[in-house]
């Protein structure tokens, strides 16, 4: 039996930050076309909304330098969420 963890945070309309046990990624767009960048590479997903059918294709396998860049982008997005949350709490 394995434990799974997955959390998706909406940064902006059409931009999601995906956090899981295996890593962090960012998704751009929505159904029927989504672009995802994470530690395993860049992927494109095309789906038929409401049907559960989709196809996913790797666009770019990431090397070590690209993974570091993706990590910096994800950390920056996380800091943005923290600052936004603090501002919302302060404005209440």
Q: What is the pLDDT of residues 52-79, one digit of tens each?
A: 899 998 877 666 666 666 666 666 766 6
- Output the six-digit token pair for 1: 């039996």
Residue pair 43/60 in contact by the 8 Å Cβ criterion: no
* pTM of the predicted model over 0.75: no
Instruction: Give the list of residues 6+ apart from residue 92 with CB closer than 8 angstroms, or none.
Output: none
Task: Work out the angle at residue 70's Cα, subtended by the Cα atoms of residues 46 and 14, and round it to the nearest 5 degrees.
Answer: 40
Say whether pLDDT at 21 is over 80: yes
Say whether pLDDT at 25 is over 70: yes
> What is the pLDDT at residue 59?
79
């Amino acid at each position: 039996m394995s434990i799974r963890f997955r959390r998706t945070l909406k940064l902006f309309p059409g931009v999601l930050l995906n956090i899981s046990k295996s890593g962090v990624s960012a998704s751009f767009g929505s159904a029927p076309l989504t672009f995802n960048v994470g530690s395993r590479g860049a992927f494109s997903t095309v789906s038929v909304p409401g049907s559960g059918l989709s196809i996913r294709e790797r666009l770019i396998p990431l090397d070590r330098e690209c993974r570091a860049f993706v990590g910096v982008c994800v950390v920056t997005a996380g800091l943005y969420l923290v600052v936004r949350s603090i501002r919302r709490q302060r404005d209440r």
